[in-house]
Amino acid sequence: MSHKRMPKRKAAIAVGGVAALGAAALLLPNANASQDKTSQAAGTARTLKAADASDLAAQLQKLLGGAFAGSYYDGVGRQLVVNVVNGDDNVIAQAEKAGATVRQVDNSTADLRAAAGTLKKEATVPGTAWAVDPRTNKVVVTADSSVTGARWNQVESTVKSLGPGMATLKKSAGTFRTFVSGGDAIFSQVQGGNVRCSLGFNVTASDGSPAFLTAGHCGVAAKQWSDSATGQPLATVDQATFPGNDFSLVKYDDPNTQAPSEVNTGDGQTVQITQAADATVGETVLRMGSTTGLHDGQVTGLDATVNFQSETDPNGVDTVNGLIQTNVCAEPGDSGGSLFTQDGGAVGLTSGGSGDCTSGGETFFQPVTAALQATGATLGAGGAAGAGAGDQAGAGAGDQAGTADPSAGDQAGAGDQSGAADPSAGDQSGTGEQAGAGDQSGAGDQSAGAGDPSAAAGDQSGAAQHQGTGRRHHRGNGS
C-alpha cells in the first residue's frame, strides 16, 4: 500500500509485533499433522478437528430441533459435546451415532434465549456483558469495575430473578473498552491526533474492487485510512456499522491494489486464508494485531453481548451483539485485527475487551461470517462468499447471521453453542490504564485524541513503535 507508483502493488498493511512463543508453536509445519493422527476415543464419539466439530454441530442442531441446547468442543478429547433437553431417545441415538457426545441438561435454548432477552431489557448498563456457557448450561453475566451502586444492584437483582440454575454473575477488576489505537497497522488523521487500528482480512467487495475488513468502531471514527501515521490516505470506508455490530468494509483507492488473502504472522511466516469459519466454543484460535503481534487462546463464548460505555454520550451505552468471546489478550491498536485458525479459517475481527498481554485479558470479536454476509464481500480474490459463509456457520449460524440486526442481542448468549463468556472475561478488563485506552472505548473515543492529548499520544506511541512493521506490508494479510 505504501508504494503508490507501482502499477500492481500489494496491500501495504502488515501485522506487527513479536509473535508469542505459544502462538508461534501452533504455526509450525507439523502442528496440523499431529492433530490428524489422534486415535478413536472410547465409545462412539469421534475425534474431530474444531472446524469439523462445528460442521457436525450445525447438522445436529437441525436433527435435534428444539431439544438442542448448545454445544462445545472438548479440546482435550477432541470431541463435540452436544447438550439436549427433553430429547427423543431415537434422535439422541442418531446424534451419538453421528459421533457426538450427548448429555442431558435442564435449560433449553429457548429458556436461555429468554434469559438473555430479560437481561437486555433490564440490565443493559455500561460495563456489562453476557453469553451462554454451554459447559454449564447457564447464562454467565460479567460486570466490570465501573458497575457499582444502583447499577450493580440493578444487574444483581435481574440475575437473581432468573434463578440460580439459569444465570450466574461475575465481577471483574477492570473495564470493557474497544481496542482502538492492530494485522497490519492502519492510521487515520482526525482532529487532535491519529486513530490507529489494525487491518482484519483482505477481501473483494461486491463490485469486484479490492478492500479489507476492520472494526466498525474504526470505520465510524474515520473515513480515510493510510498505512503510516503521516502518510496519504490509501483506502476509504465504504460501509461501517457500530454499535449493534462492529465491522467496516474499507475499499483501496487504487483499483490495481493486490490484496492477497493471507495473514502475515511475522518472522517471514504467513497463513493462507481460504475460507470464512464460524467459531466453536473450546477451539484454539490465533489473533494478530499491530500492537501485540501474534497470540493464541480459546473461544469461550458465542453470540455474546457487550455494553461499552459510550464516549459520545456520558449517560449512554454502545451495545454490540453476536460477538465471539475469547481468552486471547489484546491491547489498544489491535482493534480490527484478525482472529483466525491455523488451517486458514477467517474467524473474527477484534472488537474490544479488557486486560493486556502482560497480565492476560478477555477479548471479543465480530464474526467474519456475519460481516461478509452483511457487506456482500468475499475473501481475497473470491474465496468463501459472504452468503455462503452463513451456511458454513456451525450451530450458531442462524444466530450469527442475524448479527447484522442489532436485535440479535436477544440471541446473544442463547445461541446454540454460545458458550459463554469465560467468566474471567471481565477480569481482564483491567486496564483502563492502557496507553490511551480510554480513548479507545467506542466510536467516539477515537476522536478522543482531540480532547485528550495523552490519549492521542498513546495511540501515536504505539504507532511509532510499529510503524516499521506497518511498512513490511506488501503482503496483504488477513490481519
Hey, which residues are catalytic here?
Answer: 217, 246, 335
Closest to 425 measured CA to CA, from 301, 309, 307, 332: 301
Q: How far is CA 289 from CA 148, 265, 346, 357, in A?
A: 32, 9, 14, 12
Pairwise CA distance, residues 54 & 61, whole Å? 11
Pairwise CA distance, residues 173 & 159, whole Å? 19
> For residue 68, what are the β-bridge partners?
84
Closest to 98 measured CA to CA, from 61, 131, 70, 139: 61
Q: How far is CA 305 from CA 260, 358, 415, 429, in A?
A: 32, 25, 11, 15
C-alpha cell at 244: 449493534
Pairwise CA distance, residues 394 & 299, whole Å? 14
Residue with cell 473495564: 175
Burial class (CB in 10 A: 0-12, 13-18, 19+), 37: exposed
